[in-house]
């Protein structure tokens, strides 16, 4: 894989032609709850037609790969079980490399973990009354007090504890709901123990994805900065942040270096376009028809957006409407250049006072920054 720096990159070719495999997060990227993200089935089919292979990578350990593949197919996204990579598989590989064959692993989760453990020659168990060699915990909508109690009993004996992820929330049509991290917190409080985390952003998950997808030059596509993007940066993999899940435009602008993506897009259709690289100039950055700069407003750092003189919208910049993505790219590039070693927490964003102020204000409004 090529080196990846924590600033926006450009690609004159469509990303589906630039990279061989898209490592796609599921929740918030491909679907939200039971429904596909609008346009995702068509965009992913077009990416395949362009020669890109797809791997569906999820921190959710609740369902076995074949169940996930069947769900994707029902949503109009052709998928096979071999293309689905779960945090349960990464956790099971981690345990399989450290425990003898036939070791008994207490499952605080559901069937996805049980199947993954059996594939590694381990024995899943559901209670702590007998021998338990390790505890593995993954997201399950059916997890209850009894499961947590059995986990606490085993953990108090000092056995290895592996969590498939510590995502605090999962997206849903009703908004964020408690994720595995919220459930892990219950056992952390009850036992004073800390788990080994093998899901994103830990490199264990990325290694599992590469082994199973056989990717040479992949790109991670995700909606979370602290799992998808941080995990990609940790292993030097290119990444595409999309807005179809939990992350906002502002969160990307304020991101510290380890959470900064390589590319920005509204959704997975961003795989089907070229991406302009913002030009970093003194005091700011230019992308397409927009220029952003970091300045001082009433004693505080602020980002100013204005129309770039003589510039035109970039090709493929209309995913989010009329060059809005170019404005977002310019704002991110300017903020990251002004704060190279830390995040731009709480930075204010304003339209410039020049004649283009109204247009800049409208763009900021659409981006949720006004």
Active site residues: 25, 27
Determine the straight-line distance between the first and last CA of the chain, rounded to whole angstroms. Answer: 38
Residue pair 254/335 in contact (Cβ under 8 Å)? The answer is yes
In angstroms, rounded to a whole number, what is the distance separating the alpha carbons of residues 131 and 137? 17
CB atoms within 10 A of CB 244: 21
Phi-psi region of 271 (alpha: psi -120 to 50; beta: other; left: phi over 0): alpha
Q: Whose CA is closest to 158, among 136, 132, 184?
A: 132
- Chain CA centroid to CA 291, Å: 27
Q: Where are the alpha helices (DSSP H) in the chain?
A: 15-18, 40-49, 65-74, 87-96, 111-119, 145-155, 180-191, 203-213, 230-234, 249-254, 324-338, 357-366
Cα angle value 160/119/216 (rounded, 5°): 95
Residue in the structure block whose two tokens are 């079980």: 81
In angstroms, rounded to a whole number, what is the distance separating the alpha carbons of residues 281 and 279? 6
Return phi, psi of residue 287, to 5°.
-145, 120
In angstroms, rounded to a whole number, what is the distance separating the alpha carbons of residues 228 and 167? 11
State both tokens at 273.
Answer: 């376009």
Describe the crossing of helices 111-119 and 87-96 by its angle, rounded to 10 degrees.
40
Residue pair 15/43 in contact (Cβ under 8 Å)? The answer is no
In angstroms, rounded to a whole number, what is the distance separating the alpha carbons of residues 163 and 268? 28
């Amino acid at each position: 894989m090529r080196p990846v720096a924590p600033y926006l990159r450009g690609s004159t070719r469509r990303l589906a032609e630039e990279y061989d495999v898209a490592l796609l997060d599921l929740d918030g990227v491909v679907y939200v709850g039971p429904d596909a993200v609008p346009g995702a089935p068509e965009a992913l089919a077009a990416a395949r037609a362009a020669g890109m292979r797809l791997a569906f990578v999820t921190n959710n350990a609740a369902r076995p790969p074949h169940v996930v593949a069947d769900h994707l197919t029902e949503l109009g996204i052709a998928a096979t079980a071999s293309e689905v990579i779960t945090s349960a598989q990464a956790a099971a590989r981690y345990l399989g490399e450290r425990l003898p064959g036939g070791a008994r692993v207490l499952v605080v989760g559901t069937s996805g973990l049980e199947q993954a453990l059996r594939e590694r020659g381990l024995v899943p168990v559901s209670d702590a009354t007998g021998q338990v060699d390790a505890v593995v915990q993954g997201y399950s909508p059916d997890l209850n007090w009894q499961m947590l109690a059995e986990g606490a009993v085993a953990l108090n004996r000092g056995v290895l504890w592996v969590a498939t992820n510590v995502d605090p929330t999962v997206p849903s049509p009703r908004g964020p709901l408690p994720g595995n991290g919220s459930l892990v917190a219950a056992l952390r409080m009850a036992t004073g123990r800390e788990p080994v985390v093998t899901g994103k952003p830990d490199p264990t998950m990325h290694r599992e994805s590469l082994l199973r997808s056989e990717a040479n030059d992949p790109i991670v596509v995700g909606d979370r900065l602290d799992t998808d993007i941080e995990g990609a940066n940790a292993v030097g993999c290119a990444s595409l942040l999309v807005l179809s899940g939990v992350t906002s435009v502002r969160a990307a602008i304020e991101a510290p270096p380890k959470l900064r993506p390589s590319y920005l897009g509204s959704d997975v259709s961003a795989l089907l376009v070229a991406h302009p690289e913002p030009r970093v100039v003194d005091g700011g950055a230019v992308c397409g028809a927009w220029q952003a700069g970091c300045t001082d407003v009433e004693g505080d750092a602020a980002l100013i957006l204005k129309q770039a003189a003589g510039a035109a919208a970039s090709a493929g910049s209309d995913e989010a409407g009329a060059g809005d993505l170019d404005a977002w790219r310019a704002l991110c590039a300017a903020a990251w250049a002004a704060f190279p070693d830390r995040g731009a927490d709480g930075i204010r964003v304003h339209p410039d006072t020049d004649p283009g102020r109204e247009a800049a204000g409208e763009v900021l409004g659409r981006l949720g920054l006004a």
